[in-house]
Amino acid sequence: MIQIAITDDHVIVSEGIKTMLKTSKEIELIQSFENLKATFENLSDTVQVLLLDINLPDGNGISACKELLQKHPHLKIIALTNFEDSVFIKQILKNGAMGYLLKNTSKKELTQAIIDVNEGKRFLPKSISDILLNHSIGLENLNTFIPKLTIREKEILTLIVREFITEEIASKLFISKKTVETHRSNLIQKLGVKNVAGLVRVAMEKDLV
């Protein structure tokens, strides 16, 4: 019996997977998490395969994938997401994921993916393989990854784009400079950039402000 876990902030998705696999004689869902923090703190060493969403409230699965595999070297990870963006498919595979599934996957496809990656094989549905092929020949997929931001993060991001400095943001929002810096660090992590210039670029590209 392959023991698996799922990290997804939509309970309905986790419950759907649980129901889908309820009668399986090969796979058992033993843990489910709604965020990365809980996953890092509580993921059991007995879990063989983790279904990991890309877009989570406290970070993104692309970066977390690499960190989780450092902590659990024998773990196999399958991205389970709604996003069909070639950039993110390639990034999470590069970070060690063995498979990539869309949330509208069938029971048959999900079961086969889990069995394959548990055996050390990569699993990519034809639709995902086609996206990667289109990317390689210059045909881009238009579906883009948009991170979940809190209301406060959106406020701070908007002010950063408008070139407000830390002190001005703190004063305008009636919060401490340290709080502003914490939110800025979280934004940098969520948007997968290195600095404020990157925040501004991604915010404009994805119409986040």
pLDDT (tens digit, 9 = 90+) per residue, 78-88?
999 988 877 78
Give Cα separations from 101 to 23, 82, 168 (angstroms).
21, 8, 43
User: How many separate domains does the chain show?
Assistant: 2
* Segment 128-165, tens digit of pLDDT: 888 788 767 765 554 556 678 899 999 999 999 888 99
Nearest-5° Cα angle at 177, 174 to 181:
120
CATH number of the domain enclosing 184? 1.10.10.10
Query: Of 157, 145, 139, which Cα lies nearest the Cα of 196?
Result: 157
Give Cα separations from 86 to 75, 91, 138, 156 (angstroms).
24, 8, 11, 29
Rounded Cα distance, 30 and 26, in Å:
13
Give Cα separations from 95 to 19, 114, 125 (angstroms).
29, 18, 19
Clarify whether residues 110 and 35 are in a common domain: yes
Rounded Cα distance, 65 and 81, in Å:
14
> 179 in a domain, yes or no?
yes
Rounded Cα distance, 201 and 162, in Å:
12
Give Cα separations from 129 to 28, 82, 136, 206 (angstroms).
27, 15, 11, 25
CATH number of the domain enclosing 63? 3.40.50.2300
> 142 in a domain, yes or no?
no
* Segment 96-139, tens digit of pLDDT: 999 999 999 999 999 999 999 999 999 999 888 887 887 677 65
Clarify whether residues 125 and 52 are in a common domain: yes
pLDDT grade for 15, boundaries at 50, 70 and 90: very high
Give Cα separations from 144 to 54, 67, 87, 163, 180 (angstroms).
12, 23, 9, 26, 27
> 145 in a domain, yes or no?
no
Clarify whether residues 72 and 115 are in a common domain: yes
Query: Of 53, 26, 27, 28, which Cα lies nearest the Cα of 39?
Result: 53
Clarify whether residues 128 and 163 are in a common domain: no
Q: What is the pTM of this model?
A: 0.69
Domain that holds residue 187: 151-205
Clarify whether residues 34 and 94 are in a common domain: yes
